[in-house]
């Protein structure tokens, strides 16, 4: 095993291969507070990539209701149980990652779901945790709560799927860090299905190989965001690339949200994969639950997000989500406008921070018509 640095756990850790970072790393930010579980993302992916035979239960993108939704069944609870105590000391993780906790002869601590675990993608949907007792007031965090967690492959810096493959069929593209399965080499041993803690590799029983999210790389190569991003009704998503923390650039929207404002956090950082999809945590759910899910930065992230109402830069950048099909590697704010830019600083899109308000009277002089819906 090599020693590699994982900034999300604030320390070196053991990994199967030496540290080798891509030229650019594909990354994304999802704002959980805006997701409405419409599943447009799920369907956009399904109709683009997984409508073939043998792919019926493949959801490269899924949206589950936490705390009782899972796809596949109990994907996170089961591994968290296996991993045991997960202690943080400030920003440094003191417990074991799934690479360090692997049993002798295994490369990764993992488990392989049964076929039936994939059969109920909407289990637990909209189920609440907690109860409203008699006389309980409406408060934050809510006593009764749930939230929607949209998930794709994290295109991890230290992928467990890649580490586990005995055939060397899984690779990370040096140009953008996207993790792919070589369909010619794969023999369907399903070690990756067992190893990926997020359960984002799927076995195709008809083809006999493993298949997974490809971050819509043919679109990315043309400067476009993936299908699940551009079809997102809630405009919760932004795709781009992330730098190492010490190289963070404020003009890169993903760097700004993750490294500079620290408002977007990785999912289960303690597992040790340096996952590259980052979440703005839900402000209405209890912090201890979110702490386990997003790590020790969660309280500060929620505080920062709540302050966006008085923070023109943060509020401005959040308005760029879902505003263009193109990837926006840079951004800036000019007064009441936020502008998405390309690599050459050419404008892609501009979005107003404040929507204009038009007051329309009951009679329209220009068209000489009365508006019947005006009070």
Q: How far apart are CA 69 and CA 27, in angstroms?
A: 24
Does 201 help bind ligand SF4 (rule: CB under 6 A)? yes
Q: Based on CB atoms, which residue is closest to ligand SF4, 30 or 341? A: 30
Residue with token string 């149980």: 81
**Chosen residue from 29, 236, 239, 264 binding ligand SF4 by CB under 6 A:** 236
Q: Based on CB atoms, which residue is closest to ligand SF4, 219 or 330? A: 219
Q: How many residues does the chain have?
A: 375
By CB under 6 A, the count of residues binding ligand SF4 is 28
* Integer angstrom CA distances of residue 128 from 7, 65, 148: 34, 9, 11
Q: How far apart are CA 114 and CA 78, in angstroms?
A: 13
Q: Based on CB atoms, which residue is closest to ligand SF4, 198 or 256? A: 198
**Chosen residue from 35, 238, 263, 264 binding ligand SF4 by CB under 6 A:** 35
Phi-psi domain of 190 (left: phi exceeds 0; alpha: psi -120 through 50; beta: other): left
Stretch that binds ligand SF4, among 36-44, 292-300, 340-348, 363-371 (CB under 6 A): 36-44
**Contact predicate 301/327, CB 8 Å:** no
Q: Which residue is nearest to ligand SF4 (CB)?
A: 234
Q: How far apart are CA 353 and CA 322, in angstroms?
A: 14
Q: Which residues of 344-367 are buried (b: 16+ CB within 10 A; e: fewer)?
A: eeeebebbeeeeeeeeeeeeeeee
**Chosen residue from 109, 238, 257, 273 binding ligand SF4 by CB under 6 A:** 273
**Chosen residue from 4, 27, 28, 37 binding ligand SF4 by CB under 6 A:** 37
Does 212 help bind ligand SF4 (rule: CB under 6 A)? yes
DSSP-derived secondary structure letter, 241: E
**Chosen residue from 1, 5, 24, 40 binding ligand SF4 by CB under 6 A:** 40
- Report the interhelical angle of 287-294 vs 298-306 (nearest 10°): 110
Q: How far apart are CA 212 and CA 61, in angstroms?
A: 10
Stretch that binds ligand SF4, among 73-81, 216-224, 228-236, 240-248 (CB under 6 A): 228-236
Stretch that binds ligand SF4, among 7-15, 97-105, 226-234, 251-259 (CB under 6 A): 226-234
Does 179 help bind ligand SF4 (rule: CB under 6 A)? yes
Residue ranges in 118-177 that form contacts with ligand SF4 under rule CB under 6 A = 148, 150, 153-156, 159-161
Torsion of CA 328, 330, 331, 332, to 10 degrees: -160
- Minimal distance, residue 273 CB to ligand SF4, in Å: 5
Residue ranges in 57-96 that form contacts with ligand SF4 under rule CB under 6 A = 63
**Chosen residue from 16, 71, 118, 198 binding ligand SF4 by CB under 6 A:** 198
- Minimal distance, residue 170 CB to ligand SF4, in Å: 7
- Minimal distance, residue 40 CB to ligand SF4, in Å: 4
- Minimal distance, residue 212 CB to ligand SF4, in Å: 5
Hey, which bits of the chain come out as E strands?
A: 2-6, 11-15, 25-31, 62-66, 88-89, 92-93, 147-151, 170-172, 179-181, 201-204, 209-212, 237-242, 265-266, 277-280, 330-334, 337-341, 347-352, 363-364, 369-370
Q: Based on CB atoms, which residue is closest to ligand SF4, 191 or 255? A: 191
Q: Which residues bind ligand SF4 (CB under 6 A)?
A: 35-41, 63, 148, 150, 153-156, 159-161, 179, 196, 198, 200-201, 212, 232-234, 236, 273
């Amino acid at each position: 095993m090599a020693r590699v640095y994982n900034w999300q756990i604030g320390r070196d850790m053991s990994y199967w291969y030496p540290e080798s970072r891509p030229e650019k790393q594909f990354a994304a930010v999802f704002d959980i507070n805006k997701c409405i579980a419409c599943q447009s993302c799920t369907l956009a992916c399904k109709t683009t990539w997984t409508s073939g035979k043998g792919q019926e239960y493949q959801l490269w993108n899924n949206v589950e209701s936490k705390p009782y939704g899972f796809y596949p069944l109990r994907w996170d609870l089961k591994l968290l149980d296996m991993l045991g105590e997960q202690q943080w000391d400030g920003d440094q993780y003191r417990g074991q990652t799934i690479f360090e906790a692997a049993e002798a002869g295994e490369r990764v601590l993992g488990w392989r779901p049964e076929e039936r675990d994939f059969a109920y993608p909407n289990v637990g949907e909209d189920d609440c945790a907690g109860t409203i007792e008699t006389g309980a007031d409406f408060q934050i965090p809510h006593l009764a709560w749930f939230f929607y967690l949209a998930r794709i492959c994290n295109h991890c810096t230290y992928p467990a799927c890649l580490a586990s493959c005995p055939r060397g069929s899984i690779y990370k593209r040096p140009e953008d860090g996207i993790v792919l399965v070589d369909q010619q080499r794969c023999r369907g041993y399903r070690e990756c299905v067992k190893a990926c803690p997020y359960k984002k590799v799927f076995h195709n029983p008809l083809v006999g190989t493993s298949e997974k999210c490809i971050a819509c790389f043919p679109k990315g190569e043309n400067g476009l965001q993936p299908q699940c991003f551009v079809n997102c009704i809630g405009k919760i998503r932004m795709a781009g690339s992330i730098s190492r923390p010490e190289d963070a650039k404020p003009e890169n929207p993903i760097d700004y949200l993750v490294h500079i404002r620290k408002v977007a956090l990785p999912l289960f950082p303690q597992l040790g994969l340096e996952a590259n999809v980052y979440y703005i945590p839900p402000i209405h759910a209890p912090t201890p639950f979110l702490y386990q899910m997003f790590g020790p930065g969660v309280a500060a992230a929620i505080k920062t997000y709540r302050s966006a109402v008085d923070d023109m830069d943060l509020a401005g950048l959040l308005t760029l989500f879902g505003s263009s099909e193109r990837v926006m590697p840079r951004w800036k704010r000019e007064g009441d406008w936020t502008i998405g830019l390309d690599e050459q600083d050419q404008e892609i899109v501009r979005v107003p921070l404040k929507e204009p308000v038009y007051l329309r009277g009951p009679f329209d002089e220009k068209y000489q018509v009365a508006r019947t819906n005006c009070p």
